[in-house]
C-alpha cells in the first residue's frame, strides 16, 4: 500500500550492479514505483557515471521532478552533462514555473538565457521570465504562476468547464481564485464549496471574500509567518493594484522554515556553511575552520591582554584560578542574550521600535542573574577561605561581566538587523570571543582596584 521507501546499502549495491551491466529493464524495475525524492537520494549515493546513466533512463517528467529534488551541487553536475536543447525542451518545460525559476536562478546569465530561448512552450517561458524578475526573498520569488481562477460573474457550470482547461497545468488544487473582469482578486472558493453547490449558482454568491493575500514584494519571512499564523496551505499573491499574480503553497514555505532553522542553528554552533552529517570530510572541515580561527584570534588577543597584567598575576597567582570561570560565564550569558533576540526577530515578536524597552528588560534579567551568581561565588569563596581581595574581585567582576555580556549580546544582533545584516551572525563564536576578552579585561581591572585597596 505505502510507497514509502527505506534506502539501504543492499539496494544501492544491487542497483549499482545493474547499472554497471547496463541492464535497463532491471534498473527500471527497481525504481519504477519510487517517489522522485527517493530517486534523488539514490542518485547522491551513486558514482558520477552511474548517476548519469540512471538519470538518462528516467522519463522527461520524472527526470524533471528528480532534478528539482537534488541539491544545488548535484543539480549543476547533472545539467553540465546534458545538451542545452534537451534541458530546455525535456526538463524545464515539465517543471512548474516556481521550480523552473529556482533552477534557472542558480545558473549563469548566459546559460539561463540560452535555456529560456530554447524552450518550446513560449508562454511557460514567459511566466518563468516574469518570476525571475522578483527578488528570491520575496513573495514574488516564492510564488508559482500555476493556479486556477474563475470570474466572479460565471456560474458553477461555466466555472467547472473553464477549470477543466486550466487544471491540466496544476498539480494540486486547494482553492479556486475568483477575480473580476480586470483580474483583480475578489476572493476564494474552496473546491468543497464548489462540489457541494448547485450547478447554476453564481460564483459571486459562493465566494469567500475575507481572504488573506500578500503583495509580490512581501518579504518571504513575513509570508512564512502569515501562513503559519493563519494555518494556510496556499496563499494568493497580488500586485500593487490587487491583480492576481500567483500563489504560494505551504510546501515551499516548510522548506524555507527548515532551511532557516538549520542555518540559525549552525551559526550559533559556529558552523559557517550549510552542511549535512553525510558531507565529505573536506567540506565538514572547511565549514568549521572559520569560526575556530575567530576563536583562535580572540585567544591570541586575550593572551596579549593577560601579558599586560602579567605583573599582577606574578604577585597574585590565585587571580588565574577564576579566569576560565569569568570567561565562560561571559560567553554563556552573551549567547543566551543574542539567541533570544535572534529568535524574536525571526518570529517577529520583537519590534525594532522598542529597542530601549528590550534593553531595559534584558538589563533586569541580567541584574537578577548577576546578583544570584555573584552571591553564590561570594559564599563559595568565604567558605573556602579565599583572600578577601580575590573574593571581592571575583564576585564584582562576575556581576559586571554578566551585565556587560547581556547588553552587548542584545545590542549586537539588534544593530546588525538595523544595518540589514543577518542578526544570526551575532551568535556563536563572535559574541563568545568578544565577551571572553571584555570579561577578562573587566576582571583584571577590578582585581587591580581591590588588590590596590586592600
Of 107 and 173, which has the nearer Cβ to its own copies? 173
Rounded distance between C-alpha atoms, residue 104 and residue 91, angstroms: 11
Q: How far is the CB of 402 from its own copies (least distance, A)?
A: 8
- Residue 376 in the binding site for its own copies (CB under 8 A): yes
The answer for residues whose C-beta is within 8 angstroms of residue 90's C-beta and 6 or more apart is 60, 63, 64
Of 201 and 332, which has the nearer Cβ to its own copies? 332
Helix or strand or coil: residue 202? strand
Of 118 and 166, which has the nearer Cβ to its own copies? 166
Grid cell 483583480 is found at 184
Grid cell 541584574 is found at 367
DSSP state of 239: -
Q: How far is the CB of 337 from its own copies (least distance, A)?
A: 9
Contact set for its own copies, span 413-432 (CB under 8 A): 427, 429, 432
Q: How far is the CB of 18 from its own copies (least distance, A)?
A: 22
- Residue 172 in the binding site for its own copies (CB under 8 A): yes
Q: How far is the CB of 160 from its own copies (least distance, A)?
A: 6
Rounded distance between C-alpha atoms, residue 64 and residue 96, angstroms: 10
182, 230, 385, 452: residue in contact with its own copies (rule CB under 8 A): 230
Q: How far is the CB of 326 from its own copies (least distance, A)?
A: 8
Q: Helices then strands (H, E): number in the chain?
A: 22, 6
Q: How far is the CB of 384 from its own copies (least distance, A)?
A: 9
14, 90, 158, 332: residue in contact with its own copies (rule CB under 8 A): 332
Contact set for its own copies, span 56-115 (CB under 8 A): none
- Residue 289 in the binding site for its own copies (CB under 8 A): yes
Contact predicate 232/204, CB 8 Å: no
Q: How far is the CB of 212 from its own copies (least distance, A)?
A: 5
Contact set for its own copies, span 343-372 (CB under 8 A): 343-344, 347, 349-350, 358, 361, 364-365, 368-369, 372
- Residue 28 in the binding site for its own copies (CB under 8 A): no
Q: Which three cell numbers mark 355?
A: 529597542
Q: How far is the CB of 339 from its own copies (least distance, A)?
A: 3
Contact predicate 429/291, CB 8 Å: yes
Contact set for its own copies, span 429-448 (CB under 8 A): 429, 432-433, 436, 440
231, 240, 420, 453: residue in contact with its own copies (rule CB under 8 A): 231
CA torsion sign for 418, 419, 423, 427 is negative
Contact set for its own copies, span 188-227 (CB under 8 A): 190-192, 194-196, 209-214, 226
Rounded distance between C-alpha atoms, residue 368 and residue 375, angstroms: 11
Of 85 and 364, which has the nearer Cβ to its own copies? 364
13, 113, 251, 273: residue in contact with its own copies (rule CB under 8 A): 251
Contact predicate 130/100, CB 8 Å: no
Which pairs with CB-CB distance under 8 Å and at least 24 residues apart come from 153-157?
Answer: 153/180, 153/181, 153/202, 153/203, 153/204, 154/202, 154/203, 155/199, 155/200, 155/201, 155/202, 155/203, 156/194, 156/197, 156/198, 156/199, 156/200, 156/201, 156/203, 156/206, 157/199, 157/200
- Residue 129 in the binding site for its own copies (CB under 8 A): no
Of 21-29, 90-98, 105-113, 248-256: span binding its own copies (CB under 8 A): 248-256
Contact predicate 68/99, CB 8 Å: yes
Q: Which three cell numbers mark 232?
A: 494556510
Count of residues in contact with its own copies, rule CB under 8 A: 120
Q: How far is the CB of 418 from its own copies (least distance, A)?
A: 16
Of 80-88, 110-118, 127-135, 169-177: span binding its own copies (CB under 8 A): 169-177
Between the CA of residue 18 and those of 25, 78, 262, what are the distances in Å? 9, 20, 37
Of 19 and 341, which has the nearer Cβ to its own copies? 341
Rounded distance between C-alpha atoms, residue 146 and residue 138, angstroms: 18
Q: How far is the CB of 350 from its own copies (least distance, A)?
A: 5
Contact set for its own copies, span 294-323 (CB under 8 A): 295-296, 298-300, 302-303, 306-307, 310, 313-314, 317-318, 320-323
Rounded distance between C-alpha atoms, residue 430 and residue 294, angstroms: 7
Q: Computed over its alpha carbons, how large is the radius of gyration of the chain?
A: 30
Contact predicate 235/244, CB 8 Å: no
Amino acid at each position: 500500500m505505502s510507497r514509502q521507501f527505506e534506502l539501504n546499502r543492499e539496494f544501492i549495491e544491487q542497483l549499482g550492479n545493474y547499472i554497471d551491466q547496463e541492464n535497463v529493464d532491471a534498473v527500471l524495475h527497481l525504481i519504477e514505483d519510487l517517489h522522485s525524492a527517493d530517486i534523488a537520494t539514490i542518485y547522491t549515493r551513486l558514482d558520477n557515471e552511474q548517476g548519469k546513466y540512471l538519470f538518462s533512463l528516467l522519463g522527461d517528467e520524472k527526470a524533471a521532478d528528480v532534478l528539482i529534488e537534488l541539491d544545488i551541487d548535484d543539480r549543476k553536475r547533472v545539467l553540465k552533462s546534458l545538451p542545452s536543447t534537451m534541458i530546455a525542451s525535456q526538463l524545464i518545460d515539465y517543471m512548474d514555473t516556481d521550480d523552473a525559476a529556482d533552477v534557472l536562478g542558480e545558473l549563469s546569465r548566459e546559460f539561463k538565457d540560452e535555456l529560456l530561448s530554447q524552450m518550446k512552450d513560449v508562454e511557460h517561458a514567459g511566466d518563468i521570465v516574469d518570476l525571475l524578475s522578483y527578488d528570491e526573498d520575496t513573495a514574488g520569488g516564492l510564488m508559482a504562476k500555476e493556479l486556477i481562477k474563475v470570474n466572479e460573474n460565471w456560474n458553477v457550470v461555466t466555472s467547472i468547464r473553464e477549470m477543466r482547461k486550466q487544471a491540466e497545468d496544476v498539480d494540486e488544487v486547494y482553492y479556486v481564485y475568483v477575480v473580476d473582469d480586470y483580474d483583480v482578486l475578489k476572493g476564494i472558493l474552496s473546491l468543497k464549496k464548489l462540489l457541494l453547490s448547485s450547478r447554476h449558482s453564481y460564483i459571486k454568491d459562493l465566494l469567500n471574500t475575507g481572504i488573506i493575500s500578500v503583495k509580490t514584494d512581501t518579504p518571504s519571512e513575513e509570508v512564512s509567518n502569515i501562513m503559519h499564523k493563519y494555518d494556510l496551505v496556499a496563499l494568493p499573491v497580488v500586485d500593487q493594484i490587487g491583480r492576481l499574480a500567483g500563489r504560494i503553497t505551504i510546501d515551499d514555505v516548510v522548506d524555507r522554515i527548515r532551511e532557516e532553522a538549520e542555518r540559525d542553528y549552525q551559526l550559533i554552533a559556529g558552523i559557517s556553511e550549510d552542511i549535512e552529517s553525510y558531507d565529505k570530510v573536506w567540506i565538514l572541515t572547511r565549514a568549521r575552520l572559520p569560526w575556530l580561527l575567530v576563536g583562535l584570534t580572540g585567544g591570541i588577543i586575550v593572551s596579549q591582554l593577560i601579558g599586560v597584567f602579567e605583573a599582577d598575576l606574578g604577585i597574585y597567582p590565585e587571580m588565574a584560578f577564576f579566569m576560565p570561570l569569568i570567561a565562560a560565564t561571559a560567553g554563556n550569558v552573551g549567547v543566551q542574550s543574542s539567541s533570544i533576540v535572534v529568535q524574536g526577530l525571526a518570529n517577529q515578536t520583537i519590534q525594532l521600535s522598542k529597542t530601549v524597552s528590550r534593553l531595559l528588560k534584558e538589563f533586569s534579567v541580567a541584574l537578577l542573574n548577576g546578583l544570584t551568581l555573584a552571591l553564590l561565588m561570594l559564599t563559595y569563596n568565604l567558605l573556602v577561605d579565599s583572600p578577601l581581595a580575590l573574593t571581592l574581585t571575583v564576585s564584582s567582576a562576575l556581576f559586571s561581566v554578566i551585565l556587560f555580556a547581556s547588553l552587548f549580546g542584545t545590542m549586537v544582533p539588534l544593530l546588525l538587523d538595523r544595518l540589514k545584516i543577518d542578526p544570526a551572525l551575532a551568535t556563536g563564536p563572535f559574541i563568545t570571543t568578544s565577551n571572553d576578552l571584555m570579561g577578562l579585561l573587566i576582571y583584571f581591572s577590578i582585581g587591580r582596584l581591590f588588590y590596590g585597596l586592600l
